[in-house]
Structure 1
Amino acid sequence: MEKETSPSINVSKNGPYIVKDLKTLRNSKGVFIETKPVIALCRCGGSSNMPFCDGTHLKNDFSGEKEKDRVPDRVDSYVGKHITIHRNRDVCSHVGHCVRNLPSVFKKGEEPWADPDAADPEEIARLIRTCPSGALSYTVNGELHKDYSHGPEIFVLKDGPYNVTGVRLDDPDGSVPETQDHYALCRCGKSRNKPFCDGRHSSAEFKDRKN
């Protein structure tokens, strides 16, 4: 019996994401999109056939380069009595999942940004495990938790990034997600931290009515 190949995403220079051997591609409407052994997903934000690339990046001067004024790649830690919260703003997609669902702990626009003693540690851990970008992780009893064995899937978020789970990312420029288990990839073309989403899709008013 032939061994099943693990799916992967290759970030092509100033071009699409080349995705190989992916079985599950799903959009925000709950539709499972047909895949092939190799597909190209748009990351310039201009395709007329989203989520797939249609070559528009060759016409709109898309650049996949990181910008110098991006948020630095740095992990901040918020130490509590029973749990320590870690946050890497560099890979945060700013969809508001944490501040919306546990505002007593995660405080938008405030410093310190997180209060690890403001809720039950297990409740905090459960929420962190659902962070789509991998920006959040936690430590309990000296053990760091950031990989949760998600199955391979790419989810096309409504007017937002590709939320990826369980798919290896290969970037010739050396970009590495906080965890290969789950991360968010830019598809609006405006992120300052490509290939990762940095929430710029909101200010860019990126729209994808199809997905």
Structure 2
Amino acid sequence: MDNEIIKQYTNGELTIVWKPAACIHSKNCWNAITGMPQVFDPRKRPWIDMSGGPSSAEMAQQVRSCPSGALSSFYNHPVMQDQGKGAPETPAKNSGEAAIRIKVLPNGPLIVDGHCAVEDAAGNSVVKTESTAFCRCGFSTNKPYCDGSHSVKGFIG
């Protein structure tokens, strides 16, 4: 996407990056039970407010729970870049572990975790890293990717 919108929010220590086009509206970030509504509130502008909230490490952990990869984060100081990250999850050869993992979200998209190449009908290939959300409902205006239309259309599946 050449004109992709990318927004960044920072508290000076941590920067949260949001890619609206990748958001599938899973509500993981602002759900009152599993999210951080004091940081992520889609009713406010800006919708991400990192002031006075939880620690940077807690916010980074919450961001990692975003199933679509629309949210990501990085520490602003290079020494802290690896904070909160474990060793990369690379499956051992012949270990029985998959290089990618595919999850079906209830009433939502397919989530592909891991590196994959997506080829369109014209033969153009795009390499996706991290998590990619693929449309299952058929309503997305950004096929083959999910745009959150399943929520609006009431998709059950």
Q: Specify the TM-score bucket, using the shorter chain as the normaliser.
A: 0.7 to 0.9
Deviations 1:38-95 (A, max 9, x none): xxxxxxxxxxxxxxxxxxxxxxxxxxxxxxxxxx621101121211111000011101
Instruction: Summarize the alignment of residues 15-164 of structure 1 with structure 2, pairs less than 5 Å apart.
Output: 73-100=4-31, 101-117=35-51, 118-142=53-77, 149=88, 152-164=100-112
Q: CA RMSD of the aligned region, Å?
A: 2.5
Which runs of 4 or more aligned residues in structure 1 lie more than 6 Å from their structure 2 counterparts after TM superposition? none
The residue number in structure 2 matching 1:166 is 114
The residue number in structure 2 matching 1:182 is 131
Identical positions, percent: 35
Distance change in 2, residues 1:86/1:171 (3 Å)? same
The alpha-carbon deviation at position 142 of structure 1 amounts to: 4.4
d(CA) in 2 for partners of 1:176, 1:105: 32
Relative to the length of structure 2, the TM-score reads 0.75
The alpha-carbon deviation at position 176 of structure 1 amounts to: 4.7
The alpha-carbon deviation at position 139 of structure 1 amounts to: 1.8
| Contact 1:88 1:135 (8 Å CA) reproduced | yes
The alpha-carbon deviation at position 169 of structure 1 amounts to: 3.0
RCO (CA 8 Å, sep 6+): is it higher in 1 or 2?
A: 1
| Contact 1:175 1:195 (8 Å CA) reproduced | no
- The one-letter code of the counterpart of 1:93 is I
Relative to the length of structure 1, the TM-score reads 0.57
Unaligned runs of 5+ in 1: 1-71
Distance change in 2, residues 1:135/1:175 (3 Å)? farther
The alpha-carbon deviation at position 181 of structure 1 amounts to: 1.5
The alpha-carbon deviation at position 166 of structure 1 amounts to: 1.3
Deviations 1:120-167 (A, max 9, x none): 10000001111110101112034578x985652101111110011014
Aligned residues: 135
- The one-letter code of the counterpart of 1:195 is P
- The one-letter code of the counterpart of 1:95 is S
Unaligned runs of 5+ in 2: 90-98
| Contact 1:84 1:116 (8 Å CA) reproduced | no
d(CA) in 1 for partners of 2:126, 2:6: 14
| Contact 1:132 1:163 (8 Å CA) reproduced | yes
Deviations 1:12-43 (A, max 9, x none): xxxxxxxxxxxxxxxxxxxxxxxxxxxxxxxx
